[in-house]
């Protein structure tokens, strides 16, 4: 791993949203591979932020956690004023399309205003360092975004870094707005910003409302497997560990002002992916077989994008990254993780995990 990632360790990394799905996986990856000397995680611990996701690293001396909402401007300013971050990985976001349709205000508040507060704090911290010659004083700001900002594709082609923005949901529109802010802070102020746009992730610690964990858990519980419309919507699926490896490479060697698309090169119609999960569950949990009998087609959601696909040529060519050549095996690993970690998702479904932060840190944080 050291050869592939250039052996450079990150002196002090701030990860926003680090108790969420991708953020927690990134923390685990960086510490396991010894790629960071120090990691500070902030998270508001809303419904999808779970400190249990970080249970295995809480005793690591390289790790610290702070309960901070990125929309809390004074807290963000204080955070940057009292820490010498060399890198920022900004992953904190409201991210579920269905929730954005029902309540778009929270998405604009967190994804746009929260990103603005982070960029402002980072700009002021960085501008105080630009006279310093040491490379460690460069504050690289990695803004992690989604392929959904590009809208919907036809039956062929893929999104590149030059694709026009055409967001179709309140979620993707709010992420597009945050992307534009991040890009503007680089071009206007010179802040070293890099943007990444990823395809749909899957893997351990994903909140159960998302497609893959929802199907796994519903199979286990004998509940219907709801599939929107005809189920022929196509997504390019990216194993979360591959995504974390790409983010580590960008943090180490990404070119400020650049955008990197990260995709799994594994396009699957939703209905086919659900059937894949059913087949795995038939082998792992034969008592409920055939699980495909639980599939139910439901009314499509408003403005549902038909197809996403990512062209990852730039990050493969410039940084040497590539996705797993065995996504089927990664999907099986994901199913196995949910089967082996029932306590994790049972706490979420019961709501018991909500008090874990107070047990660990006390009510003050």
**Closest by CA position to 261, among listed 317, 299, 342, 221:** 317
Closest among 178, 201, 197, 166 to 260, alpha carbons compared: 197
Say if residue 194 is exposed, middle or buried (CB neighbours under 10 Å; 0-12, 13-18, 19+): buried
Whether 267 is catalytic: no
- Residue 236 forms beta bridges with which residues? 267
Q: CB-based contacts of 261: which residues, under 8 Å, 6+ apart?
A: 147, 159, 160, 161, 196, 197, 198, 310, 311, 312, 314, 315
Catalytic position from the list 69, 147, 242, 305? 147
Say if residue 281 is exposed, middle or buried (CB neighbours under 10 Å; 0-12, 13-18, 19+). Answer: buried
Catalytic residue among 43, 69, 120, 171: 171
Buried-exposed string 234-252: b where 16+ CB fall within 10 A, e elsewhere? bbbbbbbbbbbbbbbbbbb
In the numeric block, which tokens belong to residue 196? Answer: 């990444």
Place of tokens 């610690």: 205
Catalytic residue flag (residue 305): no
Between CA 285 and CA 303 the distance in angstroms is 35
171 is catalytic: yes
Decide: helix, strand or coil at residue 77. Answer: helix
CA–chain centroid gap for 50, Å, is 14
Choice among 94, 148, 267, 311 that is catalytic: 148
Q: Which residues are catalytic?
A: 147-148, 171
């Amino acid at each position: 791993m050291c050869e592939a990632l250039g052996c450079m360790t990150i002196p002090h990394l701030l990860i926003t949203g680090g108790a969420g799905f991708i953020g927690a996986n990134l923390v685990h990856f960086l510490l396991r591979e010894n790629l960071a000397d120090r990691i500070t995680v902030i998270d508001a611990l809303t419904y999808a932020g779970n400190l249990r996701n970080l249970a295995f690293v809480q005793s690591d001396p390289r790790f610290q956690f702070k309960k901070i909402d990125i929309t809390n401007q004074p807290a963000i300013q204080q955070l940057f004023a009292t820490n010498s971050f060399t890198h920022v990985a900004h992953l904190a976001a409201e991210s579920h399309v269905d929730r954005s349709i029902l309540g778009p205000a929270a998405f604009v508040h967190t994804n746009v205003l929260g990103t603005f507060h982070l960029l402002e704090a980072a700009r002021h911290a960085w501008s105080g360092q630009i006279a310093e010659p040491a490379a460690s004083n460069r504050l690289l700001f990695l803004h992690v975004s989604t392929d959904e900002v590009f809208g919907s594709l036809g039956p062929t082609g893929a999104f590149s870094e030059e694709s026009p923005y055409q967001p179709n949901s309140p979620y993707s529109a709010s992420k597009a707005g945050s992307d534009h802010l991040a890009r503007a802070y680089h071009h206007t102020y010179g802040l070293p910003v890099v943007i990444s746009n990823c395809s749909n992730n899957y893997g351990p610690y994903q909140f159960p409302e998302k497609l893959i964990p929802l199907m796994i858990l519903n199979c286990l519980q004998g509940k219907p497997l709801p599939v929107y419309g005809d189920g022929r919507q196509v997504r390019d699926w990216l194993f979360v560990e591959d995504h974390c490896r790409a983010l580590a490479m960008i943090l180490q060697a990404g070119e400020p002002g650049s955008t990197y698309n990260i995709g799994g090169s594994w396009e699957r119609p939703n209905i086919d992916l659900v059937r894949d999960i059913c087949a795995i569950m038939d082998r792992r949990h034969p008592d409920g077989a055939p699980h495909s009998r639980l599939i139910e087609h439901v009314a499509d959601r408003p403005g549902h994008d038909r197809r996403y696909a990512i062209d990852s040529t730039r990050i493969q060519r410039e940084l040497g990254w590539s996705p797993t050549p065995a996504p089927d095996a990664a999907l099986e690993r994901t199913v196995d993780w949910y089967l082996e970690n029932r306590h994790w998702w049972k706490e979420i479904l019961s709501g018991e995990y909500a008090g874990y932060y107070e047990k660990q840190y006390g009510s003050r944080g």
